[in-house]
């Protein structure tokens, strides 16, 4: 039995919809369920999943589709509607129905955060740029041609476009999206990676430093086609900023030509800088270099060599890539935040139960000798990710973890570390430390 309920003129944040989808998917009689705004791309996803009925085909980008398959479909839809009401409790924050109205309410604002379906993000970003606002585009699935055009337009207006698919920023001490509570300081960070920015900023904090601004530029910015437009603009901005004394650049492997251009721009700055291109350096090394301190691991355990492979189960894509680079061919790594795992489901930093399914398989797999995991704290992340991991019996084989976060985060760094250690997990002071320990077990 397939039922679609169409709610006209109702828009909800995708994260809220994913959480409700997950709740009703576990109800009796439900085979599959999804709540999505009726944009063309979302309807294509529903159709591919066998969840789009004729009623849902008529949805527009202003409508909500509640799709349920199974004998309990009608009851599940009613439960979804109740959960949506719970998610729309009144807020004391000012609200507006348009960018124009928001600007009237906050005339001093200079930044717009765009979080709408990807096919509409560029249109909203242009509106913001036209009003003299810097733009952070949280949305993904924005065509690269639109990204290039937006960043060129921003350059003409001496504005900055962060993103698309920019999941993390720290602007003048304000954490945006998935970010951590770090002290203000004189280290400016430009990052084409969300978890890369989180790891470096939190390590800088734990080494006694602070961050002036953490500017996310989107994962494609150092692509040959985009040419590092936002990265170069961000370096210019940090160069002009009186509160920034030193600069860190973080990126997955960039285009060689763009990498050379960015390095030349940093050399022209009077401020010292550190470049961390994944594969050439580690995030820990970047934090240590900019702070000129080493991150200690006084209780690093001495473990015997082991047979079997290292299984990496990661929520953060850059952390996964870094660990895979360090461990090399004796490891098998899964970025559980990848599109193939998150289609219609919350990102595992929001709902880490997704990883537990794979963790149970790895613990039972005789070919796996040890397991590597990351735990990412901060705003937007699950309230107790270590507690979710600790639900499993982690004593069956070595589990090595790193925790990206600070004491100021809602989950509190020390509390998460203690939870993991109580469950028998080896907790390293950084993701690179964790991967290096794992590599030493199979070297």
Q: Could you read off the pLDDT of 59-87 as tens digits, one per residue?
A: 998 899 999 999 999 999 999 999 988 65
206 and 268 both lie in a single domain: yes
pLDDT at 428: 98
Cα(21)–Cα(34) distance, rounded to whole angstroms? 5
Contact (Cβ atoms closer than 8 angstroms) between residue 27 and residue 70 = no
184 and 211 both lie in a single domain: yes
Q: Which two tokens stand for residue 349?
A: 């930093």
Last residue of a domain, one of 291, 324, 354: 291
pLDDT above 70 for 443: no
Q: What is the pLDDT of residues 268-285, one digit of tens each?
A: 999 999 999 998 999 999
In a domain, 304, yes or no: no
List the single range of 125-134, 269-278, 342-351, 360-369 with lowest mean pLDDT. 342-351
In a domain, 393, yes or no: yes
Mean pLDDT score of the chain, rounded to an integer?
Answer: 93
313 and 396 both lie in a single domain: yes
Task: Give DSSP secondary structure letters for 133-193.
Answer: -EEEE------HHHHHHHHHHHHHTT--EE-SS--EEEETTEEEESB----EEEEEEEES-
In a domain, 102, yes or no: no
37 and 146 both lie in a single domain: no
Cα(268)–Cα(232) distance, rounded to whole angstroms? 12
Last residue of a domain, one of 233, 259, 291: 291
Q: Write the Ramachandran bin of 169: left for phi over 0, alpha for psi from -120 to 50, otherwise beta.
A: beta
Please provide residue 197's backbone torsions phi and psi, each rounded to the nearest 5 degrees: -65, -40
Contact (Cβ atoms closer than 8 angstroms) between residue 162 and residue 231 = no
Sign of CA dihedral 338, 341, 347, 350: negative
Which of the two residues, 16 and 217, has the higher pLDDT score? 217
202 and 347 both lie in a single domain: no
245, exposed or middle or buried, with CB in 10 Å at 0-12, 13-18, 19+? middle
pLDDT above 60 for 89: no
Whether a cis peptide bond, with omega within 30° of 0, leads into 164 is yes
pLDDT above 70 for 344: no
pLDDT above 70 for 149: yes
258 and 355 both lie in a single domain: no
pLDDT above 60 for 90: no
118 and 46 both lie in a single domain: no
Q: Which domain holds residue 269?
A: 110-291
pLDDT above 90 for 157: yes
Contact (Cβ atoms closer than 8 angstroms) between residue 420 and residue 390 = yes
27 and 78 both lie in a single domain: yes
In a domain, 99, yes or no: no
Cα(65)–Cα(8) distance, rounded to whole angstroms? 9
In a domain, 212, yes or no: yes
**How many domains is the chain partitioned into structurally?**
3
List the single range of 15-29, 263-277, 375-389 with lowest mean pLDDT. 15-29
Among candidate residues 383, 382, 397, 402, the one with its CA nearest the CA of residue 320 = 402
pLDDT at 98: 86
Q: What is the pLDDT of residues 115-143, one digit of tens each?
A: 888 888 999 999 999 999 999 999 888 99
390 and 321 both lie in a single domain: yes
CATH number at residue 34: 3.30.70
Q: What is the pLDDT of residues 179-193, one digit of tens each?
A: 999 999 999 999 999
Across 22-26, 40-44, 183-187, the highest mean pLDDT is recorded for: 183-187
Sheet (strand 399-404) strand order: 331-335, 309-314, 368-376, 399-404, 426-428
Among candidate residues 231, 258, 294, the one with its CA nearest the CA of residue 432 = 294
In a domain, 191, yes or no: yes
* Beta bridge mates, 4: 67
Q: What is the pLDDT of residues 191-246, one digit of tens each?
A: 999 999 999 999 999 999 999 999 999 999 999 999 999 999 999 999 999 999 99
* Alpha carbon of residue 256 to chain centroid: 25
142 and 278 both lie in a single domain: yes
pLDDT above 90 for 264: yes
List the single range of 95-99, 226-230, 316-320, 381-385 with lowest mean pLDDT. 95-99
**What are the CB-based long-range contacts (under 8 Å, 24+) for 42-49?**
42/117, 45/343, 45/344, 49/344
In a domain, 65, yes or no: yes
DSSP at 87: T
Last residue of a domain, one of 264, 291, 318: 291
Q: Which two tokens stand for residue 139?
A: 């949305």
- In sequence order, which ranges of 26-95 are alpha helices (DSSP H)? 40-48, 54-57, 73-86
In a domain, 286, yes or no: yes
55 and 194 both lie in a single domain: no
Residue 88 pLDDT grade (very low, low, confident, very high; cuts 50, 70, 90)? low
Cα(88)–Cα(12) distance, rounded to whole angstroms? 9
CA 63 → CA 7, 57, 89, 289, distances in Å? 6, 11, 20, 50
CATH number at residue 390: 3.40.50.261
Task: Give DSSP secondary structure letters for 217-263.
Answer: --TTTTSTTTTTHHHHHHHHHHHH-TT--EEEEEESSPPHHHHHHHH
Among candidate residues 156, 161, 163, 214, the one with its CA nearest the CA of residue 185 = 214
140 and 282 both lie in a single domain: yes
Residue 91 pLDDT grade (very low, low, confident, very high; cuts 50, 70, 90)? low
pLDDT above 70 for 172: yes
């Amino acid at each position: 039995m397939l039922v679609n309920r169409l709610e006209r003129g109702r828009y909800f944040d995708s994260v809220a919809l994913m959480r409700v989808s997950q709740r009703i998917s576990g109800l009796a009689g439900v085979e599959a369920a999804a709540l999505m705004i009726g944009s063309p791309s979302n309807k294509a996803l529903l159709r591919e999943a066998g969840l789009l009925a004729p009623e849902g085909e008529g949805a527009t980008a202003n409508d909500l589709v509640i799709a349920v398959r199974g004998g309990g479909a009608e009851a599940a839809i009613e439960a979804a509607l109740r959960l949506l009401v719970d998610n729309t409790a009144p807020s004391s924050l000012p609200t507006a129905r348009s960018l124009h109205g928001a600007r009237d309410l906050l005339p001093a604002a200079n930044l717009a955060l765009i979080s709408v379906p990807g096919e509409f993000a560029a249109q909203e970003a242009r509106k913001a740029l036209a009003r003299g606002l810097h733009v952070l585009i949280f949305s993904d699935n924005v065509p690269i041609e639109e990204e290039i055009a937006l960043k060129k337009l921003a350059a003409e207006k001496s504005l900055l476009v962060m993103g698309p698919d920019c999941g993390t920023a720290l602007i003048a001490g304000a954490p945006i999206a998935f970010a951590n509570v770090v002290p203000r300081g004189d280290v400016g960070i430009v990052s084409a990676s969300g978890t890369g920015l989180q790891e470096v900023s939190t390590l800088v904090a734990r080494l006694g430093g602070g961050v002036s601004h953490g500017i996310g530029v989107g994962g494609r910015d150092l692509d040959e086609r985009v040419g590092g437009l936002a990265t170069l603009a961000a370096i210019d901005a940090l160069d002009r900023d009186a509160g920034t004394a030193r600069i860190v650049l973080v990126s997955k492997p960039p285009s060689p030509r763009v990498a050379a251009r960015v390095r030349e721009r940093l050399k022209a700055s009077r401020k010292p800088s550190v470049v961390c291109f994944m594969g050439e350096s580690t995030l820990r090394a970047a934090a240590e270099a900019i702070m000129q301190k080493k991150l200690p691991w006084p209780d690093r355990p001495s473990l015997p060599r082991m047979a079997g492979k290292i299984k990496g189960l990661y929520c953060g894509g850059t952390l996964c890539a870094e660990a895979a680079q360090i461990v090399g061919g004796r490891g098998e790594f899964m970025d559980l935040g990848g599109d193939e795992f998150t289609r219609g489901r919350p990102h595992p930093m929001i709902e880490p139960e997704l990883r537990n399914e794979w963790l149970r398989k790895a613990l039972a797999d005789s070919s796996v000798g040890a397991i590597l995991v990351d735990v990412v704290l901060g705003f937007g992340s699950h309230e107790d990710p270590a507690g979710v991991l600790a639900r499993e019996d982690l004593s069956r084989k070595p589990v090595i973890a790193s925790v990206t976060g600070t004491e100021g985060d809602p989950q509190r760094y020390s509390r998460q570390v203690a939870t993991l250690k109580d469950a028998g997990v080896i907790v390293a002071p950084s993701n690179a430390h964790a991967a290096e320990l794992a590599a030493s077990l199979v070297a």
